[in-house]
Structure 1
Amino acid sequence: MQTLTTKDLTLGYGDNIIIDDLNLAIPQGEITVFIGSNGCGKSTLLRSLARLLKPKGGDVVLDGEDIAKIGTKEVAKKLAILPQSPATPDGLSVKELVKQGRHPYRSFLKQWSKEDEHAVHRALEATNMLDFQDRAVDSLSGGQRQRAWIAMTLAQETDTILLDEPTTYLDMTHQIDVLDLLFELNEKDGRTVVMVLHDLNLACRYAHNVVAIKDKSVFAQGKPEEIVTCNLVHEVFQMKCDVTFDPMFGTPMCIPHGRGRCVFANGTNGLSGSRTAAN
């Protein structure tokens, strides 16, 4: 199984350093979620892992080799990335989009093959998009469109999938739908999934490994139940909260403190009771 690590990694834009001297190892065969406040460098780090951003210093190391020294198509056979809110050309069908995932395996001498066709079919099947393959991507709902893009990344047949905020702009139902799909891909195929999420409770529910980023580095890393505490939320997000447990999954669940405008009618800070405006 391939390895993905960073060594003394420094990232930034112009003179603005976003990530500084970072050493990080991504657990293989698990779901890793980057969390942190806006602008802390989550997406910047994810893009560098996919070789979309050149480091100012240090290296991203894939299978023991500096990723900058690996050919583009070879990287694309090992890592697939889904950026935030990707744009789809007008009129492109779902199947045509998913076929783009086979680009790393094609060349002037190697045209479309049965192997490519099978890979596309498997990707559409895994994402429950077979019935939509002839539909235009821009005619789909947000959740369906995101599944189509995930199908494209699956068609690359990589061991590792990187996703930048895959639930952005989706309603609650479609957020769970997409995250359940990624969880199933990890469970069934052992794929390594690395993603950025803003929702801390969803991160705790779906991640095996959480990486909290603050002050240009990793503030904490580990299993959600081991590292997600009131102190971590306060330090990373500057927010006071209580941390209890998800009643369905037993994972940490953050309950933010209010601004003093509402109290529980029963006088408690529990999970039940109606809320009324404070006097």
Structure 2
Amino acid sequence: MDAMETKSLTLAYGESIIIEELDLQIPKGEITVFIGGNGCGKSTLLRSLARLLKPKDGSVLLEGEAISKQSTKEIARQLAILPQGPVAPEGLSVLQLVKQGRYPYQTWLKQWSEQDEQIVWDALRATGMEQFAERPVDSLSGGQRQRAWIAMTLAQETDIILLDEPTTYLDLTHQIEILDLLFELNEKEQRTIVMVLHDLNLACRYAHHIVAIRDKKIYAQGKPEDVISCDLVRNVFDMNCQVTTDPLFGTPLCIPHGRGRCIVPQVST
């Protein structure tokens, strides 16, 4: 069974259709990355998967059941979302932030427990944020802050994690650190991870499954090596490029070259 899927999903802001009659499957236990040009609907689609945006038509299924029929806490125990550029209240410590991830498990009968405490500290250790537990979130660097928010999503203990551009505003070193961390979570714990990424080469390097969006629909989807091509980059991003192979990871590597024709690499004999 897929972790999530959509059926004839149509999303809109007012009368403006953003996504139209989309049928999408999110493979369970894999990393799926949404790619596409600015304004194509990637983030809108991600928000809909998290039930933050009500569909104009169609449905989103979580483990085979429509999310519209599930309670907010039921959904929060199954999936976590990290929006783009989240902001913590001024003075909130990293520890206090990460503890928010346990909210879906708190009830009048079940208050904070030793198990909750252990899960929070496990999340801090997993993200390398244990030493910053008492630091205010707003005093951290961009990479540290992003790790703190990811720690909060880990404390939520969901099988599915949705992230909207988790590397935005980070330098290359911190981008790789964050993506390596998410890759390890997937490898070690089989978490299903769904991300929106702008960097096509990083998307190819880390994704098991890529979904390219264009003109309100899925243009192509599948393994990076099966779908990434000069034609896809030209049609989805309106950019010509050369597609070769990443020498370190064997994944597609896109080299943009402006307005010229799409160059096919020559193979020496």
Question: Which TM-score band (shorter chain)?
Answer: over 0.9
- The residue type paired with residue 118 of structure 1 is Q
- The residue type paired with residue 94 of structure 1 is V
TM-score normalised to structure 2 length: 0.95
2:83 counterpart of 1:83:
yes
Query: Pairwise mapping of residues 181-260 of structure 1 onto structure 2 (< 5 A)?
Result: 181-258=181-258
SS state at 1:158 partner: coil
SS state at 1:187 partner: helix
- The residue type paired with residue 34 of structure 2 is F
- The residue type paired with residue 105 of structure 1 is Y
- The residue type paired with residue 212 of structure 1 is A
Task: Tell me the distance in 1 between the aligned counterparts of 2:228 and 2:69.
Answer: 37
- The residue type paired with residue 239 of structure 2 is M
- The residue type paired with residue 188 of structure 1 is K
Task: Tell me the distance in 1 between the aligned counterparts of 2:163 and 2:68.
Answer: 20
User: Aligned-pair distance for 1:159?
Assistant: 0.2
Percent identity at matched positions? 71
SS state at 1:92 partner: coil
Q: Pairwise CA RMSD of aligned residues?
A: 1.3
2:214, 2:236 within 8 Å by CA — same for their partners in 1? yes
User: Aligned-pair distance for 1:2?
Assistant: 6.7
Query: Pairwise mapping of residues 1-279 of structure 1 onto structure 2 (< 5 A)?
Result: 3-258=3-258
1:30, 1:190 within 8 Å by CA — same for their partners in 2? yes
- The residue type paired with residue 34 of structure 1 is F
Q: Where does structure 2 lack aligned partners over 5 or more consecutive residues?
A: none
Task: Tell me the distance in 2 between the aligned counterparts of 1:162 and 1:126.
Answer: 18
Which whole-Å deviations, capped at 9, do the CAs of 1:196-238 have from their partners, x for residues lacking one?
Answer: 0000000000000000000111000000011000000001001
SS state at 2:135 partner: coil
User: Aligned-pair distance for 1:259?
Assistant: 5.2
User: Aligned-pair distance for 1:258?
Assistant: 3.0
User: Aligned-pair distance for 1:79?
Assistant: 0.4
Task: Tell me the distance in 2 between the aligned counterparts of 1:195 and 1:63.
Answer: 18
SS state at 1:205 partner: helix
Larger Rg: 1
1:165, 1:197 within 8 Å by CA — same for their partners in 2? yes
2:2, 2:27 within 8 Å by CA — same for their partners in 1? no
SS state at 2:117 partner: helix
Q: How many residues align?
A: 262
SS state at 2:104 partner: helix
Which whole-Å deviations, capped at 9, do the CAs of 1:184-204 have from their partners, x for residues lacking one?
Answer: 000000000000000000000
Report the CA distance shift for 1:2/1:113 in structure 2 as closer, same or farther (over 3 A).
Answer: farther
TM-score normalised to structure 1 length: 0.92
User: Aligned-pair distance for 1:247?
Assistant: 1.1
2:239, 2:258 within 8 Å by CA — same for their partners in 1? no
- The residue type paired with residue 220 of structure 2 is A
1:2, 1:159 within 8 Å by CA — same for their partners in 2? no
